[in-house]
A and B are shown apart, each in its own frame.
Chain A
Amino acid sequence: MARKLLLEKANVEGIRGYDVYRREGGYKSVEKALKMSPNDIVEEVKTSGLRGRGGAGFPTGMKWSFLAKPEGVARYLVCNADESEPGTFKDRYLMEFLPHLLIEGMIVSSFALGSTVSYIYIRGEYDWVTDILDVAIAEAKQNNFLGKNILGSGFDCEIYTHRGAGAYICGEETALLESLEGKRGLPRIKPPFPAVKGLYGCPTVVNNVETLAAVVPIINEGGDAYAKIGVGKSTGTKLMSACGNINKPGVYEIDMTISVEEFIFSEEYCGGIPNGKKLKACIPGGSSVPILPANLLLTTAKGGKRLMNYESLSDGGFATGSMMGSGGFEVLDEDQCIVRHTMSLARFYHHESCGQCSPCREGTGWMEKILRKIENGKGELKDIDLLWDIQRKIEGNTICPLGDAAAWPVAAAIRHFRDEFEWHVLHPEECLKRNYGLAHYADRIENSVTT
């Protein structure tokens, strides 16, 4: 049983309330942090090697040290709780069951960054979670962990929740800031980065819920202790939200040394694939990251075991690897149709494109229409090449990463499952009746015939 840092107390009865949380050792890190200097906290986070848990995996300590600190200008900490990635639901779990952990992490981080007003931008659909957080904030305030002069240290801090209105794009940090300011949620053109010019034109740090929660164990036990967990540059623990064709979907806290095979098939985690079906493919990090067929998921192209961490999942680049992303682990068994799956993702990105820059605005809709055509047995072989060309022209040419996020799933599906697309085109009637089944490369690499 691997060690849990975040979800250790998630099952304690009443942990949602302040009293139980405090009795279980909560808010110790605030007491400790307020005696440290803000720079020491930033250094501690740097030492810990904590990487952003929202998807990009940028080192948090480094992000914090980039924050501009001009005299007389307010600084803001914004928590990105707009968790809208299909397949990712770890932040909701964390906020729902351990709201005080997030608040505690935010107080420490606000102190480290000098933010006296911090925001939690939470997606609108999580309305009951917002209520839970509001209660937690009120409780923390009653007990002088928020408000004026926290614990007599002279540090003032307020935390506000702000509900989004149902837009995936507002999970992009600059669109989130626009939305928080009350404008249309359109991503800003960078530079300037939020660390220089963010919320209301002031230096701002935007961090994911899990990242801010992970600050608590880092302060409690020290950055070095945190860095010892995990492997390489993937330090600490990571929440994975597993879903799809597995026996035990849910949120799991892993230390990043276990293998993908263990994660899917061991009883401790996903518990294998139901009904004795075979593993066909998997999206290891939320819908935006490239899909991998079973053989490349379990072993890297070099033949080594693929582990559940940042480096190993992205081993081989996009040709044979994927990304850790936000930790939305979607498993597809042999009955799933890759074309249909890709189409529904393309539909999602078409629906969620903000419409600001042209490649994403027009390209996402175009890809969806072509995929719909292929899925309905009306496709042509040239459509597959056209799809490839469209995704290539969207990727990297847009203002924000949504364009990339829309292009990667389509690219990976064609890269790894081209024969399934071609089967759809060449068997227009059969593809409406049955699914393609297991791709031949879903076998283990050693079983597949090399040409």
Chain B
Amino acid sequence: MAEEIKNTAPQNFKVTIDNITIDVLAGTTILNAARMIGGEVAPPAMCYYTHLKDSGGKCRTCLVEVSKGSEKDPRPMPKLVASCRTTVMDGMEVKNITSEKVLDARKGVVEFLLINHPLDCPVCDQAGECDLQNLSYEHGAVQTRYEFARRTFEREDIGPYIQLHMTRCILCYRCTYVADQITNSRVHGILDRGDHSEISTYISKAIENDFSGNMIDVCPVGALTDRTFRFKNRVWFLKPMDAYRDCDKCCGKVTIWNRGDEVYRVTARKDQWGEVQKLKDGKPAWICNTCRFDKKHVTDWTIEGPTKIDRHSVIAQGHYAGNVGMVKPPDPLNKVLAGRSPHLLLNIHDQSEVNTPEVHLGENEGPSVYETFNGEPQAQGHNVTDVKIGDGTNEKETDSINPNV
């Protein structure tokens, strides 16, 4: 198998996602191909994490419809597929936001993810940068149909720096992959099965590994929170800055979240998909616990400048003058619609002639109706009420208003 992949690696595959065709390397997943297009075309992902091997496939939010398997075998795939774990084929056609089926299934998945989620966003530290929050805003239903008790767990401090709030967990398994792949030993995992399964350290072991803090960064919800930052501030009140220091354990490149001289928290640098950025050598910029938890003053850091923040994010609101550090996300919708404009139930341009060039708004006499209005009030002449400017009170008691009184 390995050799087969090697032989086909330099080959480029053409894949069409939501009517946009791009060339990608063979072996790319549908999700990553869609992310190259960006914007709404990229399916949301709650469990897939680029830097964690074997992650993905579990949350089912990234389901897409494959309407054409490949050039060789054009049959559509019978079921929706998890785009994060399905590799593209040459000539494949994928429907994401153009497929009713996908949007319906995704809405279902969001509902399933939320039925056991506490919705305590007002007191949750993750609010504002929570993947589940974004997902439910974009794809969720207005109201829940679930009317039973939600599962709850006691909060648990797993180690000196991390608190586990299992009630919020959506079981994406990312943190277990972090412990497996970044730290030397994993002391936590999933206990039990089904909807009562939980992340836990077996018999309350502490997680004390030097890189364990990265579990907080990969957590898509507020299940794993930074104990040094809990309830200290809301993320949108803080100014994120790219900073670095010389660290002998990790790359030392971080984002510090500060206000004045105080650094409230330190996280790894994230890219536009909420994942840890890659360093120049292609490795992910995981950071160590010393950088994350112990360096909480501006003087510990050399600041590079404001972190680039997606302008749609709440964190981008009102931070820097002149939109410094704002990133405008790509907007592929025009291409997706292929020139067609959406059918509106009421097109205001069909109903009103205000914006039609044949009407010269400044040249009309008479009442201020849209056909004749020129910017000046003209309460004389053909006025419906025959009240002139300066005539005093409206003796006829009509409903006209005299602008000079």
Give the interface of A toward B (CB within 8 A): 68, 70, 167, 169, 184, 189, 192, 196-197, 350-359, 361-366, 369, 386, 389-390, 392-394, 396-399
Q: B280 at the A/B interface (Cβ < 8 Å)?
A: no
Which residues of chain B have C-beta atoms less than 8 A from A358's C-beta? 58-61, 109, 112-113, 170-171
Which residues of chain B have C-beta atoms less than 8 A from A386's C-beta? 145
* A354-B60 contact, Cβ under 8 Å, with A362-B113, A397-B109: no
> CB distance A393 to B105 under 8 Å?
yes
Stretch with Cβ within 8 A of A (4 or more), from B79-87, B118-126, B160-168, B201-209: B79-87
Which residues of chain A have C-beta atoms less than 8 A from B56's C-beta? 189
Which residues of chain B have C-beta atoms less than 8 A from A364's C-beta? 194-195
Residue in A357, A359, A394 whose beta carbon sits within 8 Å of that of B57 in the complex = A357
> CB distance A355 to B112 under 8 Å?
no
Chain B stretch 38-80: residues in CB contact (< 8 A) with chain A: 56-61, 63, 79-80
B111 to chain A: closest residue by CB: A393
> CB distance A396 to B145 under 8 Å?
no
> CB distance A359 to B60 under 8 Å?
yes
Which residues of chain A have C-beta atoms less than 8 A from B104's C-beta? 393
Give 14 pairs: A residue, B residue, CB < 8 Å, sorted on A: A189-B57, A351-B194, A354-B194, A355-B192, A355-B196, A355-B197, A357-B60, A361-B171, A362-B195, A366-B146, A366-B148, A392-B108, A393-B108, A397-B79
Q: B115 at the A/B interface (Cβ < 8 Å)?
A: yes
B182-211 near A? 1/0 per residue, CB < 8 Å: 000000001011111100000000000000
> CB distance A355 to B1 under 8 Å?
no
* A362-B115 contact, Cβ under 8 Å, with A354-B194, A397-B60, A398-B60: yes
**Complex Cα gap A351–B10 (Å):** 47
B114 to chain A: closest residue by CB: A362
Give the distance to chain A from B173, nearest Cβ to Cβ, in Å: 8
B147-161 near A? 1/0 per residue, CB < 8 Å: 010000000000000
Which residues of chain B have C-beta atoms less than 8 A from A184's C-beta? 190
Which residues of chain B have C-beta atoms less than 8 A from A352's C-beta? 193-194
B192 to chain A: closest residue by CB: A355
Report whether over half of chain B's contact residues are helix, strand or loop; otherwise say mixed. Answer: loop
> CB distance A397 to B194 under 8 Å?
no
Which residues of chain A have C-beta atoms less than 8 A from B171's C-beta? 355-356, 358, 361
**Complex Cα gap A189–B58 (Å):** 9
> CB distance B57 to A396 under 8 Å?
no
Which residues of chain A have C-beta atoms less than 8 A from B402's C-beta? none
**Complex Cα gap A40–B111 (Å):** 52
> CB distance A361 to B59 under 8 Å?
no
Q: B116 at the A/B interface (Cβ < 8 Å)?
A: yes
Which residues of chain A have C-beta atoms less than 8 A from B196's C-beta? 355
* A362-B60 contact, Cβ under 8 Å, with A353-B195, A354-B194, A393-B105: no
Chain B stretch 78-104: residues in CB contact (< 8 A) with chain A: 79-80, 82, 85, 104
**Complex Cα gap A167–B197 (Å):** 14
> CB distance B79 to A362 under 8 Å?
no
A385 to chain B: closest residue by CB: B145
Which residues of chain B have C-beta atoms less than 8 A from A393's C-beta? 104-105, 108-109, 111-112
Which residues of chain A have C-beta atoms less than 8 A from B109's C-beta? 358-359, 393, 397
**Complex Cα gap A359–B190 (Å):** 18
* A353-B80 contact, Cβ under 8 Å, with A197-B1, A397-B105: no
Which residues of chain B have C-beta atoms less than 8 A from A394's C-beta? 108
**Complex Cα gap A361–B113 (Å):** 9
Give the distance to chain B from A440, nearest Cβ to Cβ, in Å: 31
> CB distance B80 to A366 under 8 Å?
no
> CB distance B60 to A350 under 8 Å?
no
Which residues of chain B have C-beta atoms less than 8 A from A68's C-beta? 1
Which residues of chain A have C-beta atoms less than 8 A from B59's C-beta? 357-358
Among B104, B113, B116, B145, residue most surrounded by chain A Cβ atoms (within 10 Å)? B145
Among B58, B112, B146, B196, residue most surrounded by chain A Cβ atoms (within 10 Å)? B112
B292-322 near A? 1/0 per residue, CB < 8 Å: 0000000000000000000000000000000
Which residues of chain A have C-beta atoms less than 8 A from B63's C-beta? 397
| 3 tightest Cβ-Cβ pairs between the two chains A and B | A393-B108, A362-B112, A189-B57
Which residues of chain A have C-beta atoms less than 8 A from B194's C-beta? 350-355, 361, 364-365
Give the distance to chain A from B273, nearest Cβ to Cβ, in Å: 20
Among B60, B79, B196, residue most surrounded by chain A Cβ atoms (within 10 Å)? B60
Give the distance to chain B from A314, nearest Cβ to Cβ, in Å: 16
Give the distance to chain B from A96, nearest Cβ to Cβ, in Å: 28
Which residues of chain A have C-beta atoms less than 8 A from B190's C-beta? 184, 355
**Complex Cα gap A192–B2 (Å):** 12
A398 to chain B: closest residue by CB: B60
B85 to chain A: closest residue by CB: A189
B223-263 near A? 1/0 per residue, CB < 8 Å: 00000000000000000000000000000000000000000
**Complex Cα gap A398–B190 (Å):** 19
> CB distance A399 to B105 under 8 Å?
no
**Complex Cα gap A192–B193 (Å):** 24
Residue in A189, A359, A365 whose beta carbon sits within 8 Å of that of B108 in the complex = A359
**Complex Cα gap A352–B194 (Å):** 7
> CB distance B193 to A354 under 8 Å?
yes
Give the distance to chain A from B48, nearest Cβ to Cβ, in Å: 11
A167 to chain B: closest residue by CB: B193
Give the distance to chain B from A110, nearest Cβ to Cβ, in Å: 23
**Complex Cα gap A359–B58 (Å):** 9
Which residues of chain A have C-beta atoms less than 8 A from B112's C-beta? 358-359, 361-363, 366, 393
Give the distance to chain A from B79, nearest Cβ to Cβ, in Å: 5
Which residues of chain A have C-beta atoms less than 8 A from B85's C-beta? 189
* A399-B115 contact, Cβ under 8 Å, with A355-B197, A365-B194: no
